[in-house]
Amino acid sequence: MTSVDKPTHTTTDEQQPGSATDETRTVTEAALFEAFGGVRGMVETVLPGLLFVTIYTVNKDLHISALAALAVSLVLVAVRLLRRDTVKHAFSGVFGVAFGVVFAMMTGNAKDFYLPGMLYTLGLGVTYIATTLAGVPLIGLILGPVFKENLSWRTRNPGRKKAYAKASWAWGLILLAKCAILFPLYWWADTTQLGWVLVALKIPPFLLAVYLTWVFLAKAPPPIDVFAEMEAQERAERERAAAPQTPEA
């Protein structure tokens, strides 16, 4: 089988089209929707934190607010399980909320409900930047399997690697800018102020990062479908094995 890193089919930056085809745009949109969960994934991300800050704003009760947020996260997972949908986004939400609940309960400080998620955002932003500087942009590692190209973009598709690098820079800088707003509020603002700002910053930065990723990838060369290559190689080998052998003279 052909190695995904073997430079047998190189696409250069000069081969990039001036504008993306409709097919490329459609494939890119579908891949981003799958990778990041779409509208439903965004709702599952926002709803627990929104419920927490709403209840806490009304009654200032940490326990009720935290348990309500955890309960709605579990309900979202249960709904996905019943519908036999992909649960990775809902599960990630449950774990994030659970960490926040445990941390806030341990410290007794309602603001600490948000701290694990903020630290995760900071770490993710740093990871996007670090992996890009290392030549393996994180967004490529995330989307490569979705596009069925795996790691072929690293050595066989330099134009696509460049697009993944730009997208990873965008994600990293956007997440770090978000952290630059949230961490000062963690120290200076009260729980409700921090909570409402955090809810407000859930979707817009995410949509901006997804949009920029779409722009960069829609203009990049198409992905190399390494799975199709491997299937074609295996089919050719079976055909050669099944072909009648011509006796030598």
% of the chain beyond a pLDDT of 70:
78
Sign of the dihedral through C-alpha 158, 164, 167, 171: negative
pLDDT tens string 91-111 = 677 788 888 999 898 998 999
Token look-up 């249960």 returns 78
Token look-up 């934190």 returns 49
Closest CA to 114 of 100, 102, 96, 125: 100
Token look-up 């901006």 returns 208
Query: Contacts by 127-133 with C-beta closer than 8 Å and gap 24+?
Result: 127/172, 128/168, 128/169, 128/171, 128/172, 128/175, 129/168, 129/169, 129/172, 129/173, 129/176, 131/168, 132/165, 132/168, 132/169, 132/172
Q: According to the per-residue pLDDT averaged within each range, which of 39-48, 68-77, 79-88, 188-197 is highest?
A: 188-197
Q: CA–CA separation, 49 vs 69, rounded Å? A: 7
Q: Of 78-82, 119-123, 210-214, which range is least confident?
A: 78-82
% of the chain beyond a pLDDT of 90:
43
Q: Please give the C-alpha separations between residue 225 and each of 2, 146, 214, in angstroms, as whole numbers.
A: 11, 10, 19
146 Cβ contact list (under 8 Å, min separation 6): 31, 34, 35
pTM (2 d.p.): 0.79
Q: CA–CA separation, 41 vs 34, rounded Å? A: 10
Domain segments of the chain as ranges: 21-236
